[in-house]
Amino acid sequence: MKKAVKLAIIIPCYNEEEVLPSSIKKLSKLYADLQKQDIITANSEIVFINDGSKDKTWQIIENAHKKASYIKGICLSRNFGHQEALLAGLYNTDAEIYITIDADLQDDINAVKPMIKKYHEGCEIVYGVRNKRDTDSIFKRSSAVLFYKLMKLLGVELVANHADFRLLSRRAVEAMSSFKEKNLFLRAIVPLVGFKSDCVYYERQKREAGCTKYPLRKMILFALRGISSFSAMPLHLITLSGAVISTLSFLLMIWTVYGYCTGSTIIGWASLMSAITFFSGITILFMGIIGEYVASIFVEVKNRPTYIIEKKLD
Ligand code: UDP
Ligand code: MG
């Protein structure tokens, strides 16, 4: 039998009053089970990070803390975002191992035990990977497949079908804290940390209550953040297509001059219009792509704090 470990379960919460009471119940049961089986120590914690919720989320966390002292809370001064809330939890809690999970518990908490087992086998990082996506809408499913394919094409190492349900050892969290970037896309940062890692597979459930805190707009911005902070490939592609387009334009110019010299030029409104619209479109698109990177640099150089803690329950 392995020695019990000090575990911290980190849960970011943004307007989760509908689902939180049920999640607290389930997590408390898991906590009691793990302790009974001597897998975790008595000073293990469940830490909720209130990410600037406008509903009763913080009151629910406070009440839970009053009833059970192993339930802790960190209240951020405003809404910073999911990834930022995760870091606030990881960097302000002391534990031997950390497991991050979403407040709606769509990810299966039964995977926690196998994750800890992998830690004892020497893994510093254990990725929770969903084996099916049939609880997702067709749109979310196909956009996810497309996104993973695109990221692979762009040379970004990602664990497919893994979001932010994972185990990190203290060593992995310390190593992660040396990544100072502000454009947080944790699922691509974590593999860069290295160390021995493995996956645990589970089935993801539907959200039990409340609605998603990742509407389409946030999803697109998150995907752009992932691309612009992990791959310079789009910039290389712009250069490459610039070279191809210039070569073609040069050939076109020779052909035009030849036509002029041989007297076979015609008044070509259609071809002129096509060329203008095509090239203006491409120019604006390329400027936009470069703009994404400039925006990324803009955020990094300002070096603003990733999160601000207003109060803590410990
Ligand atoms: N979340 C957060 N801050 C935000 C948005 C989301 O802390 O600004 C949390 C949210 O409370 C949940 C997790 O991030 O615990 C994932 O959100 P959600 O379950 O809505 O995403 P989905 O499962 O729909 O992708
Ligand atoms: Mg969810």
pLDDT tens for 155-211 read 888 888 898 999 999 999 999 999 998 888 999 999 999 999 999 999 888 878 888
Amino acid occupying residue 297: I
CA 102 to ligand 2 center in whole angstroms: 6
Confirm or reject: Cβ of 72 under 6 Å from ligand 1: no
Taking CA atoms only, the protein residue closest to ligand 1 atom 25 is 214
Q: Which pTM value belongs to this model?
A: 0.80
Split the chain (314 residues) into runs of 10 and give each run's mean pLDDT: 91 96 96 95 97 96 96 97 96 97 93 96 95 79 87 88 94 94 90 93 85 86 87 83 83 83 75 79 81 84 92 92
Model pLDDT for residues 121-131, shown as the tens digit of each residue: 999 999 999 98
Confirm or reject: Cβ of 102 under 6 Å from ligand 1: yes
CA 235 to ligand 2 center in whole angstroms: 33
Taking the CA of residue 14 as reference, the ligand 1 atom at the shortest distance is 11
